[in-house]
Amino acid sequence: MPLAAAITDLEQLKEHPALACLLAWNAAAVSGAKFDRDEMTIYVDRANIREACALLRDDKCAFNYLSDITCVDWYPAEPRFEVVYHLLSIPNKERVRLKVRLESASPVVESLTPLWPGANYFEREVFDLFGIRFTGHPYLRRLLMPEDWEGHPLRKDYPVEGYR
Amino acid sequence: MAHLTPTPVLEPGQDRTMILNMGPQHPSTHGVLRVLLEIDGETVVRIMPDIGFLHTGIEKTCEAKFYQQVVPLTDRIDYLCPMTNNLCYVLAVEKLLGLEIPAKAQWMRVLMNELTRINSHLVWLGTHALDIGAMTVFLYCFREREEILKLFEAISGQRMMTSYFRVGGVALEPPLDFFDRVRHFAGYFPSRVDEYENLLTGNPIWMMRTQGVARMTAEDAIALGASGPTLRGSGVDIDLRRDMPYSSYEKFQFKVPVRQEGDVFARYLCRVAELRESIGIVRQALDGMPEGPIKANAPGIVLPDREKMKTQMEALIYHFKIITEGFAVPAGEVYQAVESPRGEMGYYIVSDGTAKPYRVHMRAACLANLQTLPKMCEGGLIADVVAAIGSIDIVLGEIDR
């Protein structure tokens, strides 16, 4: 089966429940969307991510389960970091991916722990391995690496074999 | 929530409580989990898991490998269910490539995946019972697990790190008597599950140690990101095999065991019921196994057969190119989740159009499940911590990656 081209036009995608919900709330918060390989990606501004997630959780589209939080480093491009949230709707059996783009100068985003306490470890892991700081996180410490480790290993400017 | 603001080494509050360090070498922590407990007599006041002892940086390693070289790494994340990880990874890469997989390969994957689930649940059941004090079950479970490992060895050459699923299909045709051996196993296995249940389910000691212990409500389980039997034991009816099917799971009939109690016993019953459902899926896969190729027709991506590689010029060239240069994957990103024995195992892969993945992230079911531990244990007895850890079926390889 050949790959269909990704759809990035908001007009064509606005039927999707998650996007419709966000656009109805605050169209300015959505900076883009992409439908590729049957997966929906919505780009959300940094300032609005917690509210957007709260809305998606409590709205009728019911994305009530936080599957995962991770990050992608696009070094040396700017904005350098993309924090990626995967939400799952248990009632509707549907997924959506939210993304927040962050400049390398201020890799800071609001924590989702007030909405889902389960975001705790995911955000700590992203902090540990990428150096993204989550404001409002109750205990933002390294999770996997030792406490005194220098650098953030999953950044692209961190060598695979580590610093010598 | 008290557990969200702990300190790395807990400060004893006044002189009522004391700090107990459990692990990382404690036998009931299933590997290298360290748990800090603040206890007041026998009661747990605070609990804080400390992880990372097994961190190997597998996500970073993946970025330096070709797509096909990542498959053996995925075995090593969750060493109790290697094929589930293989499956999740190859499904994600195939989705990136837009590759169609032949029916027989998909059914083989379902068959092996369910055997892997049984294998993993048997290790869980044996060690969980051992933790709580029922030693015999361990020996019974490992007797059957040995048979499954022999089947794995027959089909892939390896007992544990199988790497049997490859991008585009499965590695090898099964040996001639393989299906008969699986059928034989599927024939007697339900009676063995009866044996385990005879030892445990109605056993008064087992019931006292597990019923009403380490309770968790459905709302807490969802909020903390629990998945798999840990979530279904709290009454949330979701199973990705049924609800978001992959690899032709939609063609199989099976029930999803759900319990409402949310305690250790409920999670135990869910998993034991899953053993029976899995063997049912294995039987269906054996009965309906389609004929045909086991690899997709994609010469630049799937390695040619050994026979062809040694006799045909073109196959040799493809073989050489795949081994030395890998294969380019169109730019894009996918998140593929499968129902592993422990819950939602997800692979998020970002491709930049080259032959190496730009980013591979594993969503580990255990990492999220581990966060439920404080909710389950705080206010309970210290002896129940062991039961709670066993009931969420942790594998530290997957948590630490």
pLDDT of B162-218, one tens digit each?
889 989 889 888 899 999 999 999 999 999 999 899 888 888 989 888 888 888 899
pLDDT value at residue B15: 65
Q: In the predicted model, what is the mean pLDDT of chain A?
A: 86
Whether B372 is covered by a domain: the verdict is no
A67 vs B8, B337, B371: nearest CB: B337
User: Are B115 and B107 within 8 A, CB to CB?
Assistant: no
**Amino acid identity for residue B222 in this structure:** I
Whether B311 is covered by a domain: the verdict is yes
Minimal CA–CA distance to B401: which of B51, B8, B118?
B51
- Mean pLDDT of the A25-44 span: 85
For the ranges A14-28, B14-28, B207-221, B361-375, which has the lowest average pLDDT? B14-28
pLDDT value at residue B3: 35
pLDDT value at residue B109: 92
End-of-domain residue from the set B50, B66, B85: B50
CB burial of residue A54 (10 Å; 0-12, 13-18, 19+):
middle
For the ranges A115-124, B12-21, B40-49, B149-158, which has the lowest average pLDDT? B12-21
Whether A132 is covered by a domain: the verdict is no
Residue B221: count other Cβ atoms within 10 Å of its Cβ: 25
- Mean pLDDT of the A141-145 span: 87
pLDDT value at residue B35: 86
Rounded Cα distance, B123 and B117, in Å: 10
pLDDT tens digits, A94-114: 899 999 999 888 889 999 999
More confident residue, A17 or A115: A115
Cβ A146–B52 below 8 Å, yes or no? yes
Whether B226 is covered by a domain: the verdict is yes
Same domain, B96 and B26: no
| Binding-face residues of B in 231-250 toward A, CB within 8 A | 236, 238, 243-244
pLDDT value at residue B189: 92
| Complex ipTM | 0.91
pLDDT value at residue B2: 32
pLDDT value at residue B334: 92
pLDDT value at residue B305: 86
What's the pLDDT band for B41 if we cut at 50, 70, 90? confident
Long-range contacts of A140-145 (CB under 8 A, 24+ apart): A140/A111, A141/B8, A142/B52, A143/B51, A143/B52, A144/B51, A144/B52, A144/B55, A144/B400, A144/B401, A145/B52, A145/B55
Whether B86 is covered by a domain: the verdict is yes
> What sign for the dihedral angle of Cα B99, B101, B106, B112?
negative
Same domain, B30 and B65: no
Same domain, B41 and B130: no
What's the pLDDT band for B110 if we cut at 50, 70, 90? very high
Same domain, B9 and B110: no
Q: How far is A55 from chain B (nearest CA, A)?
A: 15
Chain A residues with CB-CB distance to B61 below 8 A: 160
**pLDDT above 90 coverage of chain B, percent:** 36
Residues in chain A, total: 164
Q: State yes or no: pLDDT of B309 exceeds 50.
A: yes
pLDDT value at residue B14: 58
What's the pLDDT band for B278 if we cut at 50, 70, 90? very high
Residue A139: count other Cβ atoms within 10 Å of its Cβ: 16
Residue span of the structural domain in which A73 resides? 10-111
Q: State yes or no: pLDDT of B6 exceeds 60.
A: no
Whether A141 is covered by a domain: the verdict is no
pLDDT value at residue B4: 36
Residue span of the structural domain in which B26 resides? 2-50
Whether A30 is covered by a domain: the verdict is yes
More confident residue, A135 or A22: A135
Whether A122 is covered by a domain: the verdict is no
Rounded Cα distance, A72 and B63, in Å: 12
Whether B258 is covered by a domain: the verdict is yes
**Amino acid identity for residue A41 in this structure:** T
Question: Mutating which of A87, A121, A145 best tests the B interface, going by the most B Cβ atoms within 10 A?
Answer: A121
User: Are B257 and B232 within 8 A, CB to CB?
Assistant: yes
Number of domains composing chain B: 2
pLDDT value at residue B271: 92
Chain B residues with CB-CB distance to A127 below 8 A: none
pLDDT value at residue B1: 28
Whether A3 is covered by a domain: the verdict is no
Q: State yes or no: pLDDT of B145 exceeds 50.
A: yes
pLDDT value at residue B123: 92
Cα angle value B18/B19/B23 (rounded, 5°)? 145
Cβ B55–A97 below 8 Å, yes or no? no
Q: What CATH number corresponds to the domain at position B306? A: 1.10.645.10
- Mean pLDDT of the B147-151 span: 92
pLDDT value at residue B7: 47
Label each residue of B178-233 as H, E or C. HHHHHHHHHHHHHHHHHHHHHHHCCCHHHHHHHCCCCCCCHHHHHHCCCCCHHHHC
Q: State yes or no: pLDDT of B266 exceeds 70.
A: yes
Backbone angles phi, psi at B98, to 5 degrees: 70, 40
- Mean pLDDT of the B249-273 span: 91
B58 touches chain A (CB under 8 A): no
Q: State yes or no: pLDDT of B347 exceeds 90.
A: yes
Q: State yes or no: pLDDT of A149 exceeds 60.
A: yes
Q: In the predicted model, what is the mean pLDDT of chain B?
A: 87
Residues 6 or more apart whose Cβ sits within 8 Å of residue B133: B205, B209
Rounded Cα distance, A80 and A77, in Å: 5
- Report the run of H or E that residue B377 belongs to, with start and end: helix B373-377
Same domain, B212 and B138: yes
Same domain, B132 and B71: yes
> What sign for the dihedral angle of Cα A58, A61, A67, A69?
negative
- Mean pLDDT of the B103-114 span: 92
pLDDT value at residue B52: 85
Q: State yes or no: pLDDT of B399 exceeds 90.
A: no
Minimal CA–CA distance to B331: which of A1, A7, A160, A3?
A3
Q: Which of B7-11, B22-26, B68-72 has the highest mean pLDDT?
A: B68-72
User: Are B273 and B257 within 8 A, CB to CB?
Assistant: yes
Same domain, B152 and B293: yes
Q: Beta strand pairing status for B43-50 and B165-166? A: unpaired
Whether A162 is covered by a domain: the verdict is no
Same domain, B185 and B135: yes
Query: Which residues face A96 on adjacent strands?
Result: A87
Secondary structure E strands in B32-170? 34-40, 43-50, 165-166, 169-170
Rounded Cα distance, B251 and A30, in Å: 39
B52 touches chain A (CB under 8 A): yes
- Can you count the helices (H) and strands (E) in chain B? 17, 8
User: Are A121 and B372 within 8 A, CB to CB?
Assistant: no
> What sign for the dihedral angle of Cα A70, B220, A61, B366?
positive
Q: How far is A34 from chain B (nearest CA, A)?
A: 11
pLDDT value at residue A1: 56
- Mean pLDDT of the B116-142 span: 90
Number of domains composing chain A: 1
**Percent of chain A as helix, strand, coil, to the nearest 5:** 25, 30, 45
Q: What CATH number corresponds to the domain at position A96? A: 3.30.460.80
Whether A85 is covered by a domain: the verdict is yes
Cβ A141–B96 below 8 Å, yes or no? no
Cβ A68–B363 below 8 Å, yes or no? yes
**pLDDT above 70 coverage of chain B, percent:** 96
A38: closest chain B residue by CA: B334
**Amino acid identity for residue A54 in this structure:** A
- Which tokens in the block code for residue A60? 């009728």
Whether A1 is covered by a domain: the verdict is no
B349 touches chain A (CB under 8 A): no
A118 vs B8, B60, B225: nearest CB: B225
Q: State yes or no: pLDDT of B102 exceeds 50.
A: yes
Same domain, B72 and B46: no
B64 touches chain A (CB under 8 A): yes
- Mean pLDDT of the B42-66 span: 88
